[in-house]
Amino acid sequence: VYDSWYDHIVLWDADESEIAGAYRAVPCARVLDSIGQKGLYTASLFEFDGRLLPTIERGMELGRSFVPPKYWGSRSLDYLWYGIGAWLGQHPEIRYLFGPVSISANLPLEAREWLVAYYTRYYGHAEQLARSPHPFRPGAAAPDFGPLDAEAAMPLLRDRLDALGAR
């Protein structure tokens, strides 16, 4: 349903005449002005605090990215981000990028707990201006990164994900 009013940033492999990846993107002000908050995909996943609206209005929602398996391990994701950068160059009013992230249920539960614990600890917002009606609840064995900052904790996260076969 959202695709009709979102832009699509497509990475095209001219040699193979096929899509090598894509991202869906939209300037939020455009959606808010024409459809309202319900026109944002993230609004179907999260309840936004009204204090977040000024940020959303100056933002671009990204989502539904994909890279076909044939292009995994290539620079496809890098090139998609170059495309996003070019798109942003045409939209100087955009100040913030945001969007939902999915974590596959195929990852071991412990790997999901580590990922959520890391990103919540180092990049979460204490006031929770966007709330999920169905938040992920880590188990009792969720990791504690102690006094480490995000940069120092990242190698621990990577090592644990590697040990779990999840990276």
Is 104 inside a domain boundary? no
Asked if 20 and 90 sit in the same domain, the reply is yes
Please identify, among 72, 98, 124, the residue that sits at the C-terminal boundary of a domain: 98
Mean pLDDT of the chain: 92
- Claim to verify: residue 114 and residue 93 sit in the same structural domain: no
Task: Please write the tens of the pLDDT for every residue from 51-90.
Answer: 999 999 999 999 888 999 999 989 999 999 999 999 999 9
Same-domain status, 94 and 149 = no
Question: Are 79 and 117 in a shared domain?
Answer: no
The residues with which 69 forms a beta bridge, in sequence order, are none
Residue 103 lies in a domain: no
Examine the domain organization and report whether 45 and 72 are in the same domain.
Answer: yes
Same domain, 86 and 18: yes
- Whether residue 148 is contained in a domain is answered as yes
Sequence-distant contacts of 91-96: CB under 8 A, at least 24 apart? 91/27, 91/60, 93/27, 93/29, 93/58, 94/27, 94/58, 94/59, 94/60, 95/58, 95/59, 96/55, 96/56, 96/58, 96/59, 96/60
Q: Which domain range does residue 23 map to?
A: 2-98
**One-letter identity of residue 76:** S
Residues 35 and 81 in one domain: yes
Same domain, 55 and 6: yes
pLDDT digits (tens, 9 = 90+) for 17-64: 999 999 999 999 999 999 999 999 999 999 999 999 999 999 999 988
Question: Residue 127 has what pLDDT?
Answer: 84
Distance (Å, whole) CA 26 – CA 96: 12
State the total domains in the chain.
Answer: 2
Residues 119 and 89 in one domain: no
